[in-house]
């Protein structure tokens, strides 16, 4: 467990995409800057999706342009189709993420097409990205359960993971979109997918709806997975996953890892400060237990 863990901060995208209060481009740029200032080296900055579907991500081009001077950081953006790819390239994206699902109903609700159709949409995106030297991450949603269909079999995840990997995604991020997974299921899933995609190329993207995300991450780490998606303050959710709450909080992940002797390079005080600013903007306190504890400690001084 003593080796490195790579954290992909998804707060400015997953964290804000479901908030009732839209956060301005200037404030999103400041949020990304604060996260990078706290030591995070991968920060997902936005999404080139339909403004009708996700109005919160309007202005992602400006956000990306506003932070792209951080050439030593990965700044991924979500791309659902060729139109999104073109917009991402006009904004200078060097790293994009396509997003599929392991369950048909969620695929339909989220991106208005079947899983097979979504793969057909991604094929030209991946081909163009390869030609343009753009790296592509592949997300799979509903890997441990679907809001519409319930249980999702690991084989369904394996099938999609294999396709995305064969198409050229450099990393596959496994999304427990509604946070229903438990540690043994997470472990079983990682083992199943790692039979087809190298464990080093898998990421854990666990929402914390049922309070299981840290335990699931730990189980995945025991299997050898070393990439964790998280959101500052525990922000997050997906409009097409009713009831689903935030991603596992970056503060909680950093606290756990550092406590295990794993150096993250993240400055906790700066991270909590970034979280507090965005919490003020959206008008609610951070969900992160660690941020809440540190804020309480500071207030008591």
Q: Catalytic residues, which ones?
A: 238
Task: Name, in order, each residue with C-beta under 8 angstroms of 103's C-beta and a sequence gap of 6 or more.
Answer: 141, 142, 146, 148, 149, 152, 156
176 near Mg ion, judged by CB under 5 A: no
Q: Residue 83 binds which one of ligand HMG, Mg ion, none, with CB within 5 to 8 A depending on kind?
A: ligand HMG
The phi and psi torsions of 109 (rounded to 5 degrees) equal -70, -40
Q: Of the two residues 107 and 276, which places its CB atom closer to ligand HMG in the complex?
A: 107
Q: Residue 17 binds which one of Mg ion, ligand HMG, none, with CB within 5 to 8 A depending on kind?
A: ligand HMG
Q: Give the whole-angstrom CA distance, residue 64 versus residue 245.
A: 25
252 near Mg ion, judged by CB under 5 A: no
The tokens for 36 are 């990078």
137 near ligand HMG, judged by CB under 6 A: no
Pick from 14, 27, 44, 252 the residue near Mg ion by CB under 5 A.
Answer: 14
Question: Which of these segments, 7-15, 21-29, 72-80, 120-128, binds Mg ion (CB under 5 A)?
Answer: 7-15
Site string for ligand HMG, 240-279 (x = CB under 6 A): ----------------------------------------
Site string for ligand HMG, 90-129 (x = CB under 6 A): ---------x----------xxxx----------------
Q: Give the whole-angstrom CA distance, residue 100 versus residue 113.
A: 10
For ligand HMG, the binding residues in 76-95 under the rule CB under 6 A are 78, 80-81, 83-84, 87
28 near ligand HMG, judged by CB under 6 A: no
27 near ligand HMG, judged by CB under 6 A: no
Task: Report the nearest approach of ligand HMG to the CB of residue 45 (Å).
Answer: 13
Q: Of the two residues 127 and 263, which places its CB atom closer to ligand HMG in the complex?
A: 127
Point out which residues bind ligand HMG (CB under 6 A): 14, 17, 47-50, 53-54, 78, 80-81, 83-84, 87, 99, 110-113, 139, 141, 175, 177, 205, 207, 238
Please give the residue ranges that form the binding site for Mg ion (CB under 5 A): 14
């Amino acid at each position: 467990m003593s080796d490195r863990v790579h954290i992909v901060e998804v707060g400015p995208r997953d964290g804000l995409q479901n908030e009732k209060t839209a956060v301005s481009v200037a404030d999103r740029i400041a949020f990304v800057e604060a996260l990078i200032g706290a030591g995070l080296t991968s920060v997902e900055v936005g999404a080139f999706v339909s403004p009708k579907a996700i109005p919160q991500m309007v202005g992602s081009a400006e956000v990306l342009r506003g932070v792209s001077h951080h050439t030593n950081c990965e700044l991924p953006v979500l791309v659902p189709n060729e139109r999104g790819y073109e917009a991402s390239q006009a904004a200078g994206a060097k790293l994009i993420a396509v997003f599929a699902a392991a369950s048909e109903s969620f695929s339909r609700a989220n991106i208005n097409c079947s899983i097979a159709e979504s793969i057909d949409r991604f094929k030209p995106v991946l081909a163009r990205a390869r030609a343009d030297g753009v790296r592509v991450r592949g997300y799979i949603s509903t890997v441990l359960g679907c809001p519409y269909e319930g249980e999702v079999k690991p084989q369904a995840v394996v099938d999609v993971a294999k396709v995305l990997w064969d198409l050229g995604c450099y990393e596959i991020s496994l999304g427990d979109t509604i946070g229903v997974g438990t540690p043994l299921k997470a472990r079983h899933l990682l083992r199943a997918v790692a039979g087809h995609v190298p464990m080093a190329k898998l990421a854990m993207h666990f929402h914390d709806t049922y309070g299981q995300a840290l335990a699931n991450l730990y189980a995945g780490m025991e299997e050898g997975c070393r990439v964790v998606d998280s959101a500052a303050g525990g922000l997050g959710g997906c409009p097409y996953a009713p009831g689903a709450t935030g991603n596992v909080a970056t503060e909680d992940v950093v606290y756990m890892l550092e406590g295990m002797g794993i150096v993250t390079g993240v400055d906790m005080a700066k991270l909590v400060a970034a979280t507090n600013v965005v919490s003020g903007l959206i008008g609610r306190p951070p969900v992160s237990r660690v941020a809440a504890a540190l804020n309480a400690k500071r207030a008591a001084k």
